[in-house]
Structure 1
Amino acid sequence: MFEVLVYLFENYFEANIRPDQQTLEKELSAAGFEQEDIHGAFDWFTSLESMTNDSGIASTDSSTSFRIFAEAETKKISQESLSFIMFLEQANVLNAIQRELVIDRAMALAQPEVRLEETRWIVLMALWNQGKAKDYLFVEDAVFSDTKPILH
């Protein structure tokens, strides 16, 4: 399912192209994706959009929040991923509600483990959906780039 999510994001949502679900389903099937994965990806994105619209994400102050991860979360989401999420929150790229959204969407993936690469995509998709991907892309580039930025 994760590969379908990335494919959809790179080919449609990032470019703000929104064909109807039936057309997308046909194209994804023609690209070789399984029906179960396609439907799972549609449900995942629908939940992401619904949670974003219902949460009041922009209005929270995360400076006083404290998060203890449940056992199921620490088993499924890699320690490197959890550390990265906490880093993004401390860097004010994610607020507490956005953090919870990312964790929820990671837990919703069908795979048994969510590694850093998947977490980076989830964060990007979640923030892109809110129109806030620029801050994340800057931080990600600074953290993961082979060349370090020069401060003037």
Structure 2
Amino acid sequence: MFDILMYLFENLVHNQSELMVDQDELTDELIRAGFHHDEIYKALAWLEKLCELQTTDDKPYLHYVKDTAEPTTTRMYTFEEQQRLDVESRGFLMFLEQINVLDATTREMVIDRVMEIEANEFCLVDLKWVVLMVLFNVPGKELAYEQMEELLFETPEGLLH
């Protein structure tokens, strides 16, 4: 499923000015690209749920986070979240909040979407892509999206020790 999300994001978002695509046409394209029906439907459902996060009516925790989060608040992760997001990934989320790429609401949106990904393994690079997808879909987060894009594609210069 995550491979399909990556494929869609890299091929459609970055290569097309018109993002409104017929779902049947998109499904056919993904099948031609070698993806299976079940995984395609899961990926499309994941994207649909991402879009639904814009209206937080069915996600009361997003209202709570938006209204009560203080800059000094620490996010406590559930056992399930800790199983999916290792220490490095949780530290990266904290870093993104500290540099104002994520706020409490977008962090929760990222965690929500990470927890819905069906994958045996999930690494920091995967998390970065999820953050990028979430920021792309949140109006008013264009600058944060650009910053995250730089973080995703930056390559260290000079000698590595």
Could you say which TM-score interval applies, normalised by the shorter chain?
0.7 to 0.9
Structure 1 position 106 matched with structure 2 position 114: yes
**Among candidates 72, 79, 95, match of residue 103 of structure 2:** 95
Name the structure 1 match of 2:13.
13
Give unmatched runs, 5+ long, in structure 1. none
| TM-superposition CA deviations, 1:95-143 (whole Å, max 9, x none) | 1111111011111000133210110000000001114243343356368
Structure 1 position 71 matched with structure 2 position 79: yes
Give unmatched runs, 5+ long, in structure 2. 57-61
Name the structure 2 match of 1:53.
55
Q: TM-score, normalised by structure 1?
A: 0.84
Which amino acid in structure 1 is aligned with residue 2 of structure 2? F
SS at match of 1:106: helix
RMSD: 2.3
Seen in structure 2, the aligned counterparts of structure 1 residues 133 and 115 have a Cα distance that, compared at 3 Å, is: farther
Which amino acid in structure 2 is aligned with residue 147 of structure 1? E
Seen in structure 2, the aligned counterparts of structure 1 residues 21 and 133 have a Cα distance that, compared at 3 Å, is: same
Seen in structure 2, the aligned counterparts of structure 1 residues 139 and 23 have a Cα distance that, compared at 3 Å, is: closer
Cα shift at 1:73:
0.7
- Larger CA deviation: 75-84 vs 61-70: 61-70
**Among candidates 142, 146, 150, match of residue 156 of structure 2:** 146
Contact 2:114 2:130 in 1 (8 A): yes
Which amino acid in structure 2 is aligned with residue 46 of structure 1? E
Name the structure 2 match of 1:128.
136
- Percent identity of equivalent pairs: 36
Which amino acid in structure 2 is aligned with residue 48 of structure 1? L
**Among candidates 35, 48, 54, match of residue 33 of structure 1:** 35
Aligned residue pairs total 146
- Point out 4+ residue stretches in structure 1 off by more than 4 angstroms: 59-62
SS at match of 1:10: helix
Q: TM-score, normalised by structure 2?
A: 0.80
